[in-house]
Amino acid sequence: MASSLLSRQVAVSLQHNLRLSVPRYRCVSKAATKSSVEFEYDGPLMKTTVPGPRSKDLMKQLGEIQEAGAVNFFCNYEESRGNYLVDVDGNRMLDVYTQISSIPIGYSHPALIKVMQNPDNLSAFVNRPALGILPPENFPEKLLETLLSVAPKGLRKVQTMACGSCSNENAYKTVFIWYRNKERGDIKPTKEEIETCMVNQAPGCPDYSILSFMGGFHGRTLGCLATTHSKVVHKLDVPSFDWPIAPFPRLRYPLEEFVRENAQEEARCLEEVEDLIVKYRKKGKTVAGIVIEPIQSEGGDNHASDDFFRKLREIARKHGCAFHVDEVQTGCGGTGKFWAHDHWGLEDPADIVSFSKKMLTGGYYYKEEMTPDMPYRIFNTWMGDPSKNLLLSAVLNVIKAERLLQEVARSGKALLDGLYDLQARYPHILSAARGRGTFCAIDVRDEDLRNSLIIKARNKGVVLGGCGERSIRFRPALVFKEYHAHLFLNIFGDILAEYK
């Protein structure tokens, strides 16, 4: 490891920072000074099937320590660069899944390494504060420079959290508190509320609900999980809340070819949303908020029209429910706009927008009126991690400097066009190619074939992910270029040729 590419590069760069004349490794100094693309490898390189022998050995070791059955293979992150993930057996793969969509600008990006090399930043990594009570001096400045510089339209407040689940859990709590205070008006909490809340009973713990959608995924902690309805493995055996679940439109793709029938399906779902709000209010389980993903990801990359979301936002407003857009997976540029819901052109902004993954820190934006009425209502020890804000700052600079959203639009078009072409050539295998930016997916005939295609692609040097029952989802980093799309399409085309 001591001689890994990354540590060589860092050592050299440290020397450079200290302005000392020490010979530089040519291959590395080049990498460190050029753009992320030139910095990376020129293609996949496979040495074994995956997982290879070293991975298998480590899987066994990890299996002694924890349930490790989901491990695909072990990685050599030191040698991974840009769009290429290198495993412990020396296999180098084009990564079109990027750690479940959580690597924003590729592996070992020079801009991120620079953050680590700056001695001014070290304190944030070794002195993790309790942000809610003792924030570091640069915390407001860093929030302005990072999260607030890309805040969704109409939202100027932001709360950081450690991960996606905590972001949604606390967003839901923010919604409940806001809703209850709205009902309460100027009246203070009653003695009964104060006493009953301590023992989990109404009225102190009101029987409010969050309306979610079938196929949605919002995390796996108990509050989030009550709004998650994507796979049995997420849900089975865990107690839950009786909260309303609306159907998410099941549309035909490509959307522009099935406008009329899709609009009917969407109208049906919206009607059901309104019915559920009324029904659950009658049941005494008032809907305080509606949560939705711009594209249902884990549930199978299910899209809906911009019009559907605009109408849903109107329904939320009409019934006084908060409108919470969960951008944990869709946020940070993958759809070609920074936030996927930027595509909708909402007149009245969302009330809450949650994020995590590629944003490196969890958290949520919220409207002024959603601000908790008292300190310590939304609180925990860490409330995020300022070291992640430093890395995010570098990520946002790279996105801007390298115009990565435009690149995503371009490479996304190449990818989707290629998928259309493949599904035309293999209609017995592929269908429903769909996507926005590089946030694309395609359906495979059945689950077994989908899984087998993912494994075959991996052995040819491409890391893909599945979602829903039989979809493949594409989640490359924002540094995925047109030629990476073509590279993938060529490899995938070769695999499909076996099924001619």
CA distances from 434 to 102, 197, 304, 431, 471 (A): 21, 46, 11, 9, 11
Q: Which of residues 205-224 bind its own copies (CB under 8 A)?
A: 205-209, 214, 219-223
Q: How far is the CB of 177 from its own copies (least distance, A)?
A: 5
Asked if residue 473 binds its own copies (CB under 8 A), the reply is: no
User: Is 49 an annotated catalytic residue?
Assistant: no
Residue 451's CB is within 10 A of a number of other CB atoms, namely: 14
> Whose Cβ is closer to its own copies: residue 205's or residue 315's?
205
Q: Which of residues 346-365 bind its own copies (CB under 8 A)?
A: 356-357, 360
Catalytic residue among 30, 381, 446, 494: 381
Contacts of range 262-270, beta carbons closer than 8 Å, 24 or more positions apart: 262/305, 263/305, 263/307, 266/304, 266/305, 266/307, 266/308, 266/311, 269/308, 270/308, 270/311, 270/312, 270/315
* 49 touches its own copies (CB under 8 A): no
Say which of 357, 358, 388, 460 is annotated catalytic.
357
Pick from 92, 180, 303, 460 the residue near its own copies by CB under 8 A: 180
Residue 107's beta-bridge partner residues? 82
Site string for its own copies, 57-96 (x = CB under 8 A): -x--xx-xxxxxxxxxxxxxxx-x----x--x--------
User: Is 143 an interacting residue with respect to its own copies (CB under 8 A)?
Assistant: yes
Please report which helix (H) or strand (E) contains residue 359, including its range: none
Is 371 tagged catalytic? no
Q: In angstroms, rounded to a whole number, what is the distance separating the alpha carbons of residues 312 and 288?
A: 14
Contact assessment for residue 28 and residue 444, using Cβ atoms and an 8 Å cutoff = no
CB under 8 Å to 283, separation ≥6 — which residues? none
- Active-site residue, 439 included: no
Q: How far is the CB of 230 from its own copies (least distance, A)?
A: 9
Residues between 222 and 261 that touch its own copies (CB under 8 A): 222-223, 226, 229, 232-243, 245
Site size toward its own copies, by CB under 8 A: 138
| Element containing residue 60 per DSSP (H, E) | helix 53-63
Q: Which of 33, 149, 381, 490 binds its own copies (CB under 8 A)?
A: 381
Angle at 20 between CA 17 and CA 22, to 5 degrees: 110
- Nearest-approach distance from CB 452 to its own copies, in angstroms: 18
**How far is it, in rounded angstroms, from Cα 16 to Cα 6?**
15
- When the beta carbons of 112 and 316 are compared against its own copies, the nearer one is 112
C-alpha distances out from residue 353 to 214, 304, 366, 420, 439, Å:
20, 18, 7, 32, 19
Type of residue numbered 181: N
The verdict on 377 binding its own copies (CB under 8 A) reads yes
- What are the E-state strand segments in 255-330? 287-292, 322-326
One residue of 83, 91, 108, 262 binding its own copies per CB under 8 A: 108
Contact residue for its own copies among 44, 52, 129, 461 (CB under 8 A) = 129
Q: CA angle, corner 38, sides to 33 and 41, nearest 5?
A: 120
Residue from 23, 26, 42, 126 touching its own copies (CB under 8 A): that is: 126
Of the candidate spans 247-255, 270-278, 376-384, 432-440, the one that interacts with its own copies by CB under 8 A turns out to be 376-384
DSSP classification of residue 323: E
Range 145-164, binding its own copies (CB under 8 A): 148, 156-159, 162-164
Phi and psi torsions of 192, nearest 5°: -65, -40
Residue 240 CB partners (closer than 8 Å, separation 6+): 222, 225, 226
173 binds its own copies (CB under 8 A): yes
Position among 197, 255, 263, 315 found at the interface with its own copies (CB under 8 A) = 197
Tokens representing residue 122 in the block: 């070290």
Assess whether 217 carries a catalytic annotation.
yes
By CB under 8 A, what part of segment 260-299 binds its own copies? Answer: none
Q: Is 451 in the site for its own copies (CB under 8 A)?
A: no
Nearer to its own copies, 54 or 486 (CB): 54
| Least gap, CB of 473 to its own copies (angstroms) | 14
Q: Minimum Å distance from CB 125 to its own copies?
A: 6
CA separation (Å) from 368 to 94, 115, 119, 372?
43, 32, 36, 9
Please state, in angstroms and rounded to a whole number, the distance separating the CA atoms of residues 365 and 346.
16
Please select the residue that binds its own copies; options are 27, 130, 278, 401, rule is CB under 8 A: 130
Q: Which of 217, 323, 488, 492 is catalytic?
A: 217
109 phi/psi in degrees, rounded to 5: -60, 130
Catalytic-role residue among 89, 95, 326, 385: 326
Peptide bond into 129 cis (omega under 30): no
Smaller CB separation from its own copies, 34 or 377: 377
Does 186 bind its own copies (CB under 8 A)? Our answer is: no
Please give the distance of CA 38 from its chain centroid, rounded to a whole number. Answer: 26
Q: Note whether 484 and 94 are within 8 A (CB).
A: yes
Range 1-40, binding its own copies (CB under 8 A): 1-2, 4, 6-8, 10-11, 14-15, 18, 20, 22
Out of 29, 380, 431, 459, the residue judged to bind its own copies by CB under 8 A:
380
* Residue 133 CB, nearest approach to its own copies (Å): 5
Which residues belong to the active site?
217, 326, 357, 381
